[in-house]
Amino acid sequence: MRKGSKIGEFEEIVILTVGILGDNAYGVTIKDEIEDRVQREVSVGALQTTLRRLEKKGFLSAKQGDTSAGRGGRPKLYFSITPYGKKAIQESRDVRNSLWDALPPGLLNEIA
Amino acid sequence: MTSPPKWPFRLLKFFCKRAYHLDIEGDLMELYERRVQRLGPKKAKQKLWKDVIFLFRPSMIRSISPDLNTSPMLKHHLQMAFRHISQDKTSFIINLTGLSVGLTAVLLILLWVQDEWQYDKFHANDQQLYSTYQNYDRPSGAHTTERTPTPLAQAMAEELPEVEYAVAVNDLFQWRNGLGLLSNEDQAIEAKGLIASEDFFKVFSFDVLTGNSEQTMKRKDLIAISDQLAKKLFSSADNALGKSLEWDHSGFKGLFQINAVFKLPPANSSLQFDVVFSIDHLLDNDQWSGNWTNNYARTYFVLTPGTAIETFNPKIDQLLSNKEDKFRSSLVFAEPFSDQYLHGRFEDGKVAGGRIAYVRLFLLLAAMILVIACINFMNLSTAKASIKMKEIGVKKTLGASRSSLATQFLTESILLAFMGLTLAVQLSYLLLPFFNRLADKDISIPLNPAFIGGLVAIGILTGFVAGSYPALYLSGFRPITILRGKLPTLFGELWVRKGLVVFQFSLSLLLITALLVVNDQIQFIKEKQLGYERDNVISFQFKGEVYDNWSGLRDGKSNETFYRFMEELRNTPGIQSASTISFGNLLDKIAGQSGVSWQGQTEEEKGVAFKSPVVGYDFIETMGIQLKEGRTFSPEFKDHYHRIMLNESAVELIGLENPVGKILRMNGGDCEIIGVVENFQHGSLYDMIEPFIFRFDINGGNVLAKIQAGTLAETLPRLEELHQAFLPGRAFEYTFLDDDYLALYKSETQVAVLSKYFAALAIIVSCLGLFGLTVFTAERRRKEISIRKVLGASIYTIMHLLSFSFTKVVLAAVLIATPLAYWVSSNWLKNFSEGISLSPYYLLVPSLSVLLLSWLTISYQTYRAARVNPSHALQEQ
């Protein structure tokens, strides 16, 4: 892996979630999705810091969108994965796959 | 729909980055709405607060300044600052030199002060650690001793619940400096011994590296030694454990097992020792040491947290008077242990300062130097106002606010302060070895956050102080007047500038006077006739046995070996005379004697304590004290312990008409007065002359020998040889009495030397400022000078014109500082029983030198200005 494209575990989760949500990825939905899937509570602070960091690094891009009821007229900020972000999660997956492939075949049975 | 609470959103708006704020706020509102539905408004509100608080993190917080223009403005200010620097390199260099020299002095002083403050403060119990003192009545007022009765520590720990631990410590009375010989099969090393009771290692934080320190202090046959000693004798601490060592000291001797090894006390500890013994050795070897009436040990104790020493002190006193009804109240008191270094002087039974005076003095000096350096900066930048005027006018017309201009000037001065500070830190690094040698210290520059924080604080403070006046002054110009080319009211400015120079030179003058007075007083002390001869007298402690047992004095047993040693010493060629004294000399640690009674004594006089050294034959002769009547102690008369000599002061106190042959009663026996000597100045000149009773004993551990003048080189090796013959393996360590006398003034001498350098720095910085001002004035008056020259003025007239305004300023400083200097010096001299008198010399010399110095500083510049070719200067425009 090249230096600079390293992503942390939570970062990877956030990027993947943004991908899953497609056109509807903004603060609240991302938070809900992660909490649903990973079964852990995500604070707005932690999520927002990570989102902005990923945006700054170029893994995500942000676009201001419409507002909806219950937001006091405030706009939503939609996130989507950039090509660079896609490459990064792909690389991360490849590394993992190659590590999985190298695992001795019998090992997983023992765990199970 | 419930409306969301306002405050969390206000808080968010306050700290959140503008770009992130809106959509995050939207998210939070959406979440809140949903939570109200699911969890109810109360829970939703709690969660909202939690979310907002967890959003408060570095990447979310906006910068503090409300206008977004801050950082470009700062950049602009810095750029302007660098342009100003390159425009006028002379005043930049003067400013920078002044600031960095000043800051170097300040830094070094602060390091010194910090070091002084840390002394003895490393103990974990420092806040609760106290030492006790006891007061005795003397004719000159209560006398305070550090030693208290040995059983006090134990009684305090047992009977007073506020005392956590207490320990009795004896340093072997400094007999042979407390040095004994420690030996194993291979080698013998001199080591400093300490006797202490059980809780020694609990009261003090001397690290025990290995072994059991608690057990060691309880048993007589066990000792604890320092890691250094362990390394020398057994190559490592672990090796030393369990090994045996032979201890040899005139107090006691024996074979001991090493049961603990501790880390050698650091240099900033007042307790210094290599080996610790159980207190039982003191109690066993000296029948008087366990009494409540004798002061044999220092008592240190740890108070439980939260106990105030003021309310506790009477309880110690009560304890003591319960034990021994001889004691009246308010005799024993405790002071914080770590205070004894800086507040170690007692007057009339109360703490009366000490070294702290020097610490304060140096802090004041640091502040003065810093102020002088700042003044330079203020002066030069206000002087340059005319140059900056156009810049300010244009900026103001274009809408620059006063505060933004002030910020610009402050930025400039803080930038300069930090440049100066950087240089100062580097200079301090270079100077530190030299400084350490002067101050007899081992200071290094600590690179911890506190120190760096302190540096930054000093930098900002200096920049702020130096820049405040120009910032306020220059930013207040009215653009219309200055752009029209009119100078703003120069009158006030001129006064301020002159006032600052007056202040600078007053400080310099004060410093010079103080230096002169201190140096001359020290010289006076060095040469002072004290009523005894201290030249060519050496003093050393006999490290062998003097008596057959510790408390041999009253048993009258003498030791044959020591007797022979003294005899051979007296017969050594080059030795004029030799004598002994039980311990100490006439400088400090002079033994005391109370409970003396005589015929016609009043009730009040019963409590009087005399100074009472126990001396041997020829003492009066060796010391060159003048005999007034009677005779001195001499072998012819087979003198013994019941014969005494007095000084005039004692005769006067007792009120004797014909003292020789009269009887005084003391120590349970009648003592006959055989002679009277004239008064002499014992101790330092800080001490008052007190009544003396010389007691006699044929032997005394401290030997004094008067060497014939001019034969020092031959005689000393002979003494060395003699010492070697009697005490093989023990080092012959002697001091000269005149050196010992000067050592009493060690802090004064040290302070005098240090302040000499600092004062020189202060004066250099002042002169730099004056120099800068002259350069500037000369430049500004170029045209005026040229016109004057065209009209026929000579170089002399012009130099006179230019110097005169500065001379007036320096003269004003002389007028202001002279009375102040007189007052300060005469107050200091009052500390001494005798000293130099303040003649006009001490006021004239500094004034003249300041004047001369200022003329020297400005003369080159005025000369250059006066030499200017009028046609060049006038052509310029």
Which residues are CB-contacts of B46 (< 8 A; sequence separation ≥ 6)?
none
C-alpha torsion angle, residues A68, A72, A74, A79 (rounded to 10)? -50
Q: Which residues of B589-616 are buried (b: 16+ CB within 10 A; e: fewer)?
A: ebebbbebebeeeeeebeebbbbbbbbb
Nearest CB to B31; choose among A28, A53, A72: A28
pLDDT band at B168 (very low <50, low <70, confident <90, very high): very high
Query: Is B551 a residue whose pLDDT tops 50?
Result: no
| B4 in contact with A, Cβ within 8 Å | yes
Alpha-carbon distance B225 to B600, whole Å? 54
Alpha-carbon distance B750 to B746, whole Å? 6
* Tokens representing residue B623 in the block: 């010391």
The predicted model gives B394-407 an average pLDDT of 84
Helix, coil or strand: residue B107: helix
Q: How far is CA A57 from CA A6, A51, A52, A91, B297, in A?
A: 10, 10, 9, 16, 72
pLDDT, tens digit, 9 for 90 and up, residues B269-289: 888 899 999 988 888 877 777
Helix (H) or strand (E) holding B672: strand B669-677
Give B709-739 as a DSSP string.
Answer: TT-HHHHHHHHHHHHHHHSTTS---EEEHHH
pLDDT at B299: 92
pLDDT, tens digit, 9 for 90 and up, residues B369-381: 888 888 887 877 7
The total number of residues written for chain A in this structure = 112
The predicted model gives B568-593 an average pLDDT of 81
Alpha-carbon distance B42 to B327, whole Å? 72
Q: What angle do CA B704, B710, B715 make, to 5 degrees?
A: 55
Q: What is the DSSP letter of B680?
A: -
pLDDT at B139: 64
Query: Is B555 a residue whose pLDDT tops 60?
Result: no
How distant is the Cα of B227 from the closest Cα of chain A, in angstroms? 50
CB atoms within 10 A of CB B667: 14
Alpha-carbon distance B416 to B92, whole Å? 9
Q: Where are the domains of chain A?
A: 9-102
Least confident of B93-97, B244-248, B556-560: B556-560
pLDDT band at B491 (very low <50, low <70, confident <90, very high): low
Helix then strand then coil, % of chain B, to nearest 5: 55, 15, 30
Burial class (CB in 10 A: 0-12, 13-18, 19+), B535: exposed
pLDDT band at B553 (very low <50, low <70, confident <90, very high): very low
Residue of chain A whose alpha carbon sits nearest to that of B56: A45
C-alpha torsion angle, residues B403, B405, B406, B412 (rounded to 10)? 140
Q: Which site among B24, B48, B62 would you substitute to test the A interface, given the most A Cβ atoms closer than 10 Å to its Cβ?
A: B24
Alpha-carbon distance B523 to B527, whole Å? 6
Helix, coil or strand: residue B584: coil
pLDDT at B550: 45
Query: Is B548 a residue whose pLDDT tops 70?
Result: no
pLDDT at B825: 87
pTM: 0.68
Residue of chain B whose alpha carbon sits nearest to that of A44: B51
The predicted model gives B439-468 an average pLDDT of 82
Residue of chain B whose alpha carbon sits nearest to that of A25: B27
With CA atoms as reference, report the closest residue to B109 among B749, B761, B747, B746.
Answer: B761
pLDDT, tens digit, 9 for 90 and up, residues B612-668: 888 888 888 888 888 888 888 888 887 777 889 999 988 888 888 888 888 888 877
How distant is the Cα of A38 from the closest Cα of chain B, in angstroms? 19
How distant is the Cα of B59 from the closest Cα of chain A, in angstroms? 7
pLDDT at B70: 62
Q: Which residues of B166-179 are buried (b: 16+ CB within 10 A; e: fewer)?
A: bbbbbbbbebbebb
Q: Which residues, in sequence order, are bridge partners of residue B694? A: B645
How distant is the Cα of A8 from the closest Cα of chain B, in angstroms? 17
Alpha-carbon distance B148 to B369, whole Å? 45
Alpha-carbon distance A5 to B697, whole Å? 91
Q: Which residues from A are below 8 Å from B36, CB to CB?
A: none
Identify which has the larger pLDDT, B471 or B812.
B812
pLDDT at B300: 93
Q: If you average pLDDT over every residue of chain B, what do you get?
A: 82
* Tokens representing residue A47 in the block: 């999520």
Termini Cα distance of chain B: 79
User: Are the beta carbons of A45 and B57 separated by less than 8 Å?
Assistant: yes
Helix, coil or strand: residue B266: coil
Q: How far is CA A55 from CA A15, A31, A52, B470, B869, in A?
A: 10, 17, 5, 46, 69
pLDDT band at B549 (very low <50, low <70, confident <90, very high): very low
Q: Which of residues 381-410 of B touch A (CB under 8 A)?
A: none
Beta strands B734-736 and B537-541 are: antiparallel
Query: Is B448 a residue whose pLDDT tops 90?
Result: no
Identify which has the larger pLDDT, B877 or B828.
B828
pLDDT band at B556 (very low <50, low <70, confident <90, very high): very low
With CA atoms as reference, report the closest residue to B642 among B665, B613, B608, B617.
Answer: B665
Nearest CB to B26; choose among A31, A43, A76: A76
Q: Is the dihedral of CA B543, B547, B550, B552 positive or negative?
A: negative
Alpha-carbon distance B481 to B479, whole Å? 6
* Tokens representing residue B235 in the block: 């190559």
Q: If you average pLDDT over every residue of chain A, what do you get?
A: 86
Alpha-carbon distance B722 to B734, whole Å? 13
The predicted model gives B606-612 an average pLDDT of 77
Residue of chain B whose alpha carbon sits nearest to that of A73: B26
pLDDT, tens digit, 9 for 90 and up, residues B340-359: 888 887 877 778 777 888 88
Residue of chain B whose alpha carbon sits nearest to that of A63: B23
pLDDT at A54: 92
User: Are the beta carbons of B27 and A67 separated by less than 8 Å?
Assistant: no
Alpha-carbon distance B111 to B446, whole Å? 9
Nearest CB to A74; choose among B29, B53, B55: B29
Given a contact cutoff of 8 angstroms between Cβ atoms, the answer to whether A51 and A30 are in contact is yes
pLDDT, tens digit, 9 for 90 and up, residues B773-783: 787 777 778 88
Identify which has the larger pLDDT, B185 or B382.
B185
Q: Which of residues 28-47 of B touch A (CB under 8 A)?
A: 28-31, 33-34
B862 sits in the region (left: phi over 0; alpha: psi -120 to 50; else beta) called: alpha
Given a contact cutoff of 8 angstroms between Cβ atoms, the answer to whether B204 and B130 are in contact is no
| A90 in contact with B, Cβ within 8 Å | no
Given a contact cutoff of 8 angstroms between Cβ atoms, the answer to whether B147 and B295 are in contact is yes
pLDDT at B489: 55
Specify the CATH number for A9-102; select among 3.40.50.10440, 1.10.3720.10, 1.10.10.10, 1.10.1740.10. Answer: 1.10.10.10
User: Are the beta carbons of A43 and B28 separated by less than 8 Å?
Assistant: no
Nearest CB to A53; choose among B25, B51, B59: B59
pLDDT, tens digit, 9 for 90 and up, residues A50-90: 999 999 889 999 988 887 877 888 888 999 999 999 999 99
Q: How far is CA A75 from CA A63, A70, B132, B273, in A?
A: 10, 11, 75, 76
Alpha-carbon distance B765 to B752, whole Å? 20
pLDDT at A1: 45
Query: Is A30 a residue whose pLDDT tops 90?
Result: yes
pLDDT at A34: 92
Given a contact cutoff of 8 angstroms between Cβ atoms, the answer to whether A39 and A61 are in contact is no
Q: What is the DSSP letter of B487?
A: P
Residue of chain B whose alpha carbon sits nearest to that of A67: B26
User: Are the beta carbons of A28 and B27 separated by less than 8 Å?
Assistant: yes
Q: Which residues, in sequence order, are bridge partners of residue B703? A: B540, B580
Task: Name the percent of chain B lying above pLDDT 70.
Answer: 93
pLDDT at B554: 45
Amino acid at B334: A
Query: Is B541 a residue whose pLDDT tops 90?
Result: no
With CA atoms as reference, report the closest residue to B659 among B689, B625, B688, B694.
Answer: B694
Given a contact cutoff of 8 angstroms between Cβ atoms, the answer to whether B470 and B409 are in contact is yes
Q: Which site among A34, A43, A44, A50 would you substitute to test the B interface, given the most B Cβ atoms closer than 10 Å to its Cβ?
A: A44
pLDDT at B877: 54
Residue the block writes with tokens 């990973």: A38
Query: Is B557 a residue whose pLDDT tops 60?
Result: no
Alpha-carbon distance B341 to B353, whole Å? 10
Alpha-carbon distance B634 to B580, whole Å? 13
